[in-house]
Structure 1
Amino acid sequence: MAAPHHEDDELAPTATEGYKVGQAKTVAELANLDKEDESLQRWKASLGLGTSGGGGQKKVILKTLFLRSTTRKQGDVVLDLTQSPAELAQLKKAPITIKEGVDYSVGITFSVEGEIVSGLRYIQVVKRTGITVDRIEHMLGSYGPQPEPYTKVFAGEESPSGMLARSGSYNVRSRVVDDDGAVWLDVEWGFKLGKEW
Structure 2
Amino acid sequence: MNTGDSRTVIIEELALDTADHPTLFVDLTQLGSLDSLERKSSIVEEGSKYQMTIKFVVQGDSISDLKYIQVFKRQGIEIDKFEHMLGTYLPNEGLPSYIEKLPTEKAPSSELARGSYSVTSRFQDGDKKTHLEFKWTFEIASKRK
Scaled to the shorter chain, the TM-score interval is 0.7 to 0.9
Contact 1:110 1:150 survives alignment (8 Å) = yes
| Residue 35 of structure 2: aligned partner | 89
Q: 2:134 aligns with which of 163, 174, 187?
A: 187
Q: What secondary structure does 1:165 align onto?
A: coil
Residue 160 of structure 1 deviates from its aligned partner by 1.6
Contact 1:92 1:171 survives alignment (8 Å) = no
Q: 2:24 aligns with which of 73, 77, 91?
A: 77
Residue deviations 1:141-174 (CA, integer Å, cap 9, x gap)? 11112221111112221112233322x3110000
Contact 1:171 1:189 survives alignment (8 Å) = yes
Q: Following superposition of structure 1 onto structure 2, how do residues 172-183 of structure 1 map, counting pairs within 5 Å? A: 172-183=119-130
Contact 1:172 1:189 survives alignment (8 Å) = yes
Contact 1:122 1:140 survives alignment (8 Å) = yes
Distance 1:160 1:140 in 2: 24
Letter matched to residue 191 of structure 1? F
Where does the alignment leave 5 or more consecutive residues of structure 1 unmatched? 1-56
Higher normalized contact order (CA 8 Å, seq sep 6+, divided by chain length): 2
Distance 1:172 1:80 in 2: 18
Distance 2:51 2:83 in 1: 13
Greater fraction strand = 2
Where does the alignment leave 5 or more consecutive residues of structure 2 unmatched? 1-5
Distance 2:65 2:116 in 1: 32
Contact 1:58 1:116 survives alignment (8 Å) = no
Greater fraction helix = 1
Distance 1:187 1:148 in 2: 24
Q: What secondary structure does 1:145 align onto?
A: coil
The number of equivalent residue pairs is 137
CA RMSD of aligned residues (A): 2.2
2:102 is aligned with 1:154 = yes
Distance 1:172 1:65 in 2: 14
Contact 1:58 1:115 survives alignment (8 Å) = no
Please give the TM-score of this superposition, normalised by the length of structure 1: 0.62
- Percent identical pairs in the alignment equals 40
